[in-house]
Structure 1
Amino acid sequence: MGTRISYPAEVKMKAVKMRLAGVPVKEVLKELNIRNRTQLKTWVKWYKAGELQRFEQPVGKQYSFGKGPEYESETEKLKAENRYLKQQIEVLKKYEGIGEEVVPETAVELVKELKTSMPVREICQHLGIARSTYYRWRSKSGEETSKQAVERKIGTLCRDHKFRYGYRKITALLKREMPINHKAVQRVMQKYGWQCRVKVKKRRRTGQPCHISDNLLKGDFQADQPLQKLVTDITYLPFGQKQLYLSSIQDLFNGEIIAYSIGSCQNTDFVLHTLAELPSLPKGCILHSDQGSVYTSYAYQQAVKERGITMSMSRKGTPADNASIESFHSSLKSETFYLDELRSTTTAIVEQTVENYIHYYNHIRIQAKLNNQLPVKYRQLAA
């Protein structure tokens, strides 16, 4: 039979507060190093019943309020108390990482809790810190409030954006309110596991060059003005009751999606419908695509010429030549269907998810290459 662990009262109370705040059970167990969910359920039951004194009882001892456990001798009592105190310290070491990187706030709270039963010097020895260090931390304990506020703010931003942002974009959002270093934000996100959960890396595929139209972009995805360089592509949406496709056109000036279509058939009419959604274009506008049959078709080539658009195409088997729109389609799937685990849903939900994300991408999602501006706002400022 395994050794039974006695959790400190502050760990139990924090676990209860996290559950009452809506934190998932698995996350609470992992963060506080609690063995099983039954213990957590019991603590919540005690808290709701107002039996807070039970948080202090030693493991395996059940007793009424105001009465302590009974022991056969004074020696047994001292041994039990010593074992209980050691267990408290060991659990707190796991809970806050004490021994590798001591958390000042936790050390101060622990000494305050145990100093009536043990000398401060002995508690500090167990924690592996100097007594002078404890007193210095205690004098500065009030300063930790601002640090906690920053951590809460970072956590809120990460959750609001469904963990789509890395530390650079979270830093950019925080700098609108306060001065903060990106390394500090990165440490906090690593500490709590709030890193970006999307963007699975893909290998670059190569192929022999085979030109139908010249590659006018040649990997230059920068544009000096709106509607100067456009890119287009089709991606699969295999998440609904039937296979769907998304055809989209992106403006390289600000990354904005300026036209898109969702359909169940990947044919020439499908991409022509997307082309018709474009606004009025300036003379000399370039539209870049891959060498797919829908883009090399006679009907599509004619429609492009009638709009006064100059056609450009990637080399065959080289998606990197159209990296910008490929990246957008990857972000769309990673930050919606894969993140929310929408692997099998209805056609209507798939269409609504895509429409909502494109609006989010254009009007809400900041982009580092735009100096952390929104695509639509960036275009408006340029105008």
Structure 2
Amino acid sequence: MSKILFTKEDIKKLKTNKNILNVSEYSITYNYEFKILFIDEYIAGKLPRQIFAENGFDINVLGLKRIEQSACRWNAAYKKDGIIGLADTRKTSSGRPRSTELTKEEIIERQNAKIKLLEAQVELLKKLDAQERQVVQKNNKIKPSDVFKTIKEVIEKYSFKNLIGYLCELSGVSRSGYYNYNASNDIRIEREKRDLEDRDLILKAFNRRGYKKGSRSIKMTLDNEFNIIYSIKRIRRIMNKYKIICPHRKANPYRRIAKATKEHSVVKNILNREFKQATPGKVLLTDITYLPYGNSKMAYLSTIKDSSTNEILAYQTSDRITLDIALDTIKKLVKNRRVTLTKDAFIHSDQGSHYTSPTFQNLLKKYKLSQSMSRRGNCWDNAPQESFFGHMKDEIDLKSCNTLENVKKMIDRYIVYYNNYRYQWNLKKMTPVQYRNHLLAS
């Protein structure tokens, strides 16, 4: 101990330093975390007075002799017992004799305690390292709550009581945060219980009528069929938490059919992406898509979609992609008594060979339907029709079909579901049929 005494002003100033546990006129006690920090930086090559100065100590108040004595004492304790020796260096390294010698049992007990702490340190660091590797792979950050949970597991396993601060410092989290985590345990249990109840309801909506859905479709299904109001954020949080994954749109791997011979003619784009004209039976979108099924088999689907209501008005499924598939779809549209077309109704398509064919164009003239075409290579000009194909392929499992008849039945079921039961966000959260009736009523 240094012979220099601290004044009242010195004591007041030193007490403001977070690295000091206690200070009196004669002595000063540093906290365990500062001692570990000091040893790390001392081994790295820094001078003792530099380390003290960088951690907020006034060298003139402490005195170089006191700093050198502390450095010598801590370094000797560290070399003898590692970081455990820094916990209470005064009792073992100050040169003052103990009043009684340790018994053999006490020595064994202390050594076992040191081994126990080292094992706990290794286990904690291994768990934190494993957690960090997992979140790095997912490009996320490790959550403090996960660290607190790991610390709690280690403390309970090794029955530690007075090492919470040290383990928190070792893990890079605050001790107050750990205590808050423990205090809120009941709240977390209650929240987890509520989340599980929400998960069960969301899963019912997610699998409603046999088709998987995204967060917006889940919200509309809960609103309309369960009379339950959940926010989008709540639904997405539960889906993320319990890994409820909606199928994502896949890119079409097939190229469009090449343009045909010169007698095929392209017509003007009279739609100009004005898809929502609030008039059912006026803007009719059409296209053909590939349907891979079974073991490398292929079917084709041609549809006509009402752009204003998103309702599928007519469709044709075939194992051949000849001109007949497009012609038959138009004939089904005209024969469908439930479909009422306006006098200025027109068919809008891409510039595929089916739609530039003179036979197809003459059929439209026969039924007094005008025609419009997207610009060349611009899929956005027919986006709602492309969107329907994308959603349908995400939501049905064509690979489970072995025959064309199975494909047709699956398409039939899906289009009934799509028109009558699949709520859509941009249709005021109604189904296509509901929205059509809404427009006609208004």
Separation of aligned partners in 2, 1:105 and 1:355: 52
Find the structure with the greater CA-based Rg. Answer: 2
Match of 2:343 in 1: 283
1:181, distance to aligned residue in structure 2 (A): 5.6
Question: What pairs with 1:296-315 in structure 2 (closer than 5 Å)?
Answer: 296-315=356-375
Moved more, 278-287 or 172-181: 172-181
Q: Secondary structure at the match of 1:199?
A: coil
Match of 1:87 in 2: 123
1:357, distance to aligned residue in structure 2 (A): 2.6
Question: Structure 1 unaligned runs (5+)?
Answer: 1-72
Moved more, 305-314 or 247-256: 305-314
1:236, distance to aligned residue in structure 2 (A): 1.4
Any idea what the Cα deviations from partners look like across 1:29-73, whole Å, max 9, x if unmatched?
A: xxxxxxxxxxxxxxxxxxxxxxxxxxxxxxxxxxxxxxxxxxxx8
Does the Cα contact within 8 Å between 2:304 and 2:312 map onto a contact in 1? yes
Does 1:100 find its partner at 2:142?
yes
Separation of aligned partners in 2, 1:240 and 1:246: 16
1:147, distance to aligned residue in structure 2 (A): 5.2
Equivalent position to 2:354, from 290, 294, 297? 294
Any idea what the Cα deviations from partners look like across 1:81-117, whole Å, max 9, x if unmatched?
A: 8636853674377469799312279739936970771
Does the Cα contact within 8 Å between 1:211 and 1:315 map onto a contact in 2? no
Separation of aligned partners in 2, 1:228 and 1:263: 26
Q: CA RMSD in A?
A: 4.2
1:250, distance to aligned residue in structure 2 (A): 0.5
Q: Secondary structure at the match of 1:177?
A: coil
Does the Cα contact within 8 Å between 2:304 and 2:315 map onto a contact in 1? yes
Equivalent position to 2:428, from 348, 371, 378? 371
Question: What pairs with 1:179-190 in structure 2 (closer than 5 Å)?
Answer: 179-180=230-231, 182=233, 185-190=235-240
Identity of aligned residues (%): 29
Query: Structure 1 pair 163/195, CA: closer, same or farther in 2 (3 Å)?
Result: farther
Equivalent position to 2:329, from 274, 277, 287? 274
Q: TM-score normalized by structure 1?
A: 0.63
1:261, distance to aligned residue in structure 2 (A): 0.8
Moved more, 299-308 or 324-333: 299-308
Question: What pairs with 1:9-20 in structure 2 (closer than 5 Å)?
Answer: none
Match of 1:216 in 2: 270
Separation of aligned partners in 1, 2:130 and 2:177: 20
Does the Cα contact within 8 Å between 1:211 and 1:316 map onto a contact in 2? no
Question: Structure 2 unaligned runs (5+)?
Answer: 1-107, 334-338
Question: What pairs with 1:1-383 in structure 2 (closer than 5 Å)?
Answer: 79=115, 83=119, 86-87=122-123, 90-91=126-127, 94=130, 100-103=142-145, 107=149, 110=152, 114=156, 117-119=159-161, 121-122=163-164, 124-125=168-169, 128-144=172-188, 145-146=190-191, 149-150=194-195, 153-154=198-199, 156=203, 160=207, 165-170=213-218, 177-180=228-231, 182=233, 185-190=235-240, 193-200=243-250, 212-240=266-294, 242-278=297-333, 279-337=339-397, 342=399, 345-382=402-439, 383=441
1:255, distance to aligned residue in structure 2 (A): 1.1
Separation of aligned partners in 1, 2:203 and 2:401: 29
Query: Structure 1 pair 271/186, CA: closer, same or farther in 2 (3 Å)?
Result: same
Any idea what the Cα deviations from partners look like across 1:183-211, whole Å, max 9, x if unmatched?
A: x55455445554543113579x9999x96
Query: Structure 1 pair 371/99, CA: closer, same or farther in 2 (3 Å)?
Result: closer
Paired positions, count = 305
1:288, distance to aligned residue in structure 2 (A): 0.8
Any idea what the Cα deviations from partners look like across 1:139-173, whole Å, max 9, x if unmatched?
A: 43333323553366356268527995444545555
Query: Structure 1 pair 76/148, CA: closer, same or farther in 2 (3 Å)?
Result: same
Query: Structure 1 pair 247/146, CA: closer, same or farther in 2 (3 Å)?
Result: same
Separation of aligned partners in 2, 1:274 and 1:159: 32
Query: Structure 1 pair 109/346, CA: closer, same or farther in 2 (3 Å)?
Result: farther
- Higher helix content, 1 or 2: 2
Does the Cα contact within 8 Å between 2:293 and 2:401 map onto a contact in 1? yes
Query: Structure 1 pair 181/296, CA: closer, same or farther in 2 (3 Å)?
Result: closer
Query: Structure 1 pair 164/141, CA: closer, same or farther in 2 (3 Å)?
Result: same
Separation of aligned partners in 1, 2:331 and 2:154: 71
Larger relative CO (CA 8 A, sep 6+): 1 or 2?
Answer: 1
Does the Cα contact within 8 Å between 1:229 and 1:285 map onto a contact in 2? yes
1:263, distance to aligned residue in structure 2 (A): 0.9
Query: Structure 1 pair 129/148, CA: closer, same or farther in 2 (3 Å)?
Result: farther
Q: Secondary structure at the match of 2:315?
A: strand
